[in-house]
Amino acid sequence: MKPLEGPVNSVGGMIEQVTDQATGVVDNAEQSAMSSMGNGSKLLSGFAGSSGSQSGQAGNAGDGKGQEKNSGKGGQEGGKSQGGGDFLGLLKSGVHTRLMTFGLMNIKRLGAKVIAAGAAKVTGVIKKMLTPKVKFRLGAEEHELWVEKGKNRNVVMMASGDGSDIHMHEEVDKQMSKDVKSEVRELEQSPESKVTQSRVQKVAYGLEAGSKGEGKDRDEVPETLIEHGGIAGTQMWVEANPLTEKGPVGFPPKESCPGWGHAQDLNKVQDSWVKGHLLNHHLHGPGVAWNLVPLNKKNNSAMAVGPEELAKSMFKEKVLYYRADVLFHSGKEPVMYFPKTITISVGEKINNKIINKKTYSLDQEKPPESVENVTYNINEIGREFLRDKFGIPEIFAKEIIYVRDKYGRKAGENGKGRFDNFYHLQDLMDKYYTNKLDTNTKFTEDKLNSFDNNLIILEQNILKNKKLEVK
């Protein structure tokens, strides 16, 4: 088989040449590279399997030694003249016709191995894959999506057979929603470390949704849907699914929540408790009891810079999923109304699937069960405090603060009014309801009777419970 070494080496050399040329072209354009490699494959296939070549060579082999003598220098020169352009011609001119008959099968096998080696080399360069392939469907057809490293940018590849740049699929490119196009652009421009399978999956979901007529651009985003359940003191939850820029207007706390009175007692010793939203008011969360829990300031800040900041950064551009679950401390009132653990999940919602979900867990220690000798000065608190802590009716609490600030004794020229004591408060409120403080008021007898009833509640808190004082 020694005479085969020259032709075989030539075969190997040409394959390497084709491969090197192909890989060079790949750096500029993948299609050109594949085309070059395809031509090389055809040449090998033509040599190894062409029926015309085989029959021609077999016929010539019968000529014997006469042609054998002419296969030396002249044949080599012929090989040189053809070597730069025709791969098959190089083999035909460089291999003795008699050896073509006996060594054909060996060369076929060698050619197949070299093709495989060359193709592997080209594939390795072309497909410098940054992500695994993600399967998805457009109608009845199954496709794959992945990202490869290109020369000047990443290339988002799509394939149902051979892969190509997603922008080469004209119908798909034309039907992409703005959101999907934005995700594709981000993948194309991101550094390799930021190109992930989950981001490719997101594009795939978006393409599927678009093919089903479910893809939504920003002017078609769904309305935020907020649901809640559970009971304070055991477990409760609030969920926004979906969460988008469209939705009801959220607002700060306007209602009390179970346990808040005890939190206010604790704040007299150390100001560390707030009424915390489970769904932030900037994310459409209302300031009502089912969305509020006593939360220490540390955890309130952790929610602000964690799940809430993440959701706020995305919900105006994407469709999100947001859920908060609360487990409470065991024990008796009021401690049982304080959260032990709050778990918040935030994710993106595409094609009714939640992806890129991130979960936060906040633990909160059990608060003290009692606070001794804590009192509240009615001259230093507001309407909400009177309502939430002491059960003073909303309208009466509002009118007490109004009369105090406008008609109470002033502490300096620009200071707010103050009541001197409980009896001073009682006297001013009586004059107010009998229309003696403000000539524009027209309170009726019913209003005055209502004041008498409400005053009893206030008096119990001041004179009996000794938690509220006027000084």
Domain range summary for the chain, segments of one domain joined by +: 2-126, 134-218, 226-363, 376-469
Q: Does 194 have pLDDT greater than 60?
A: yes
Q: Which whole number is the average pLDDT over 249-276?
A: 91
Q: Does 268 have pLDDT greater than 80?
A: yes
Looking at residue 444, its pLDDT comes to 87
Which of 95-99, 161-165, 330-334, 344-348 is predicted least confidently?
95-99
Q: What is the 3-state secondary structure (H, E, C) of the chain?
A: CHHHHHHHHHHHHHHHHHHHHHHHHHHHCHHHHHHHHHHHHHHHHHHHHCHHHHHHHHHHHCCCHHHHHCCCHHHHHHHHHHHCCCHHHHHHHHCCHHHHHHHHHHHHHHHHHHHHHHHHHHHHHHCCECCCCEEEEECCEEEEEEEEECCCCEEEEEECCCCEEHHHCHHHHHHCCHHHHHHHHHHHHCCHHHCCHHHHHHHHHHHHHHHCCCCCCHHHCCCCCEEEEEECCCEEEEEEEEECCCCCCCCCCCCCCCCHHHHHHHHHHCCCEEEEECCCHHHCCCCCHHHEEEEEHHHHHHHHHHHHHHHHHHCCCCCEEEEEEEEECCCCCCHHHCEEEEEEEEEEEECCEEEEEEEEEEECCCCCCCCCCCCEECCCCCHHHHHHHHCCCHHHHHHHHHHHHHHCEECCCCCCEECCCHHHHHHHHHHHHCCCCCCCCCCCHHHHHHHHHHHHHHHHHHHHCCCEECC
Q: Does 343 have pLDDT greater than 90?
A: yes
Q: Which whole number is the average pLDDT over 77-81?
A: 43
Q: Does 368 have pLDDT greater than 60?
A: yes
Q: Does 8 have pLDDT greater than 50?
A: no
Looking at every residue in the chain, the average pLDDT score rounds to 76
Which of 72-76, 359-363, 440-444 is predicted least confidently?
72-76
Looking at residue 33, its pLDDT comes to 40
Looking at residue 228, its pLDDT comes to 97
Q: Does 372 have pLDDT greater than 90?
A: no
Q: Does 278 have pLDDT greater than 60?
A: yes
Q: Does 376 have pLDDT greater than 80?
A: yes
Which of 77-91, 121-135, 226-240 is predicted least confidently?
77-91
Looking at residue 230, its pLDDT comes to 96
Looking at residue 469, its pLDDT comes to 86
Q: Does 252 have pLDDT greater than 70?
A: yes
Q: Is 0.75 surpassed by the pTM of this model?
A: no
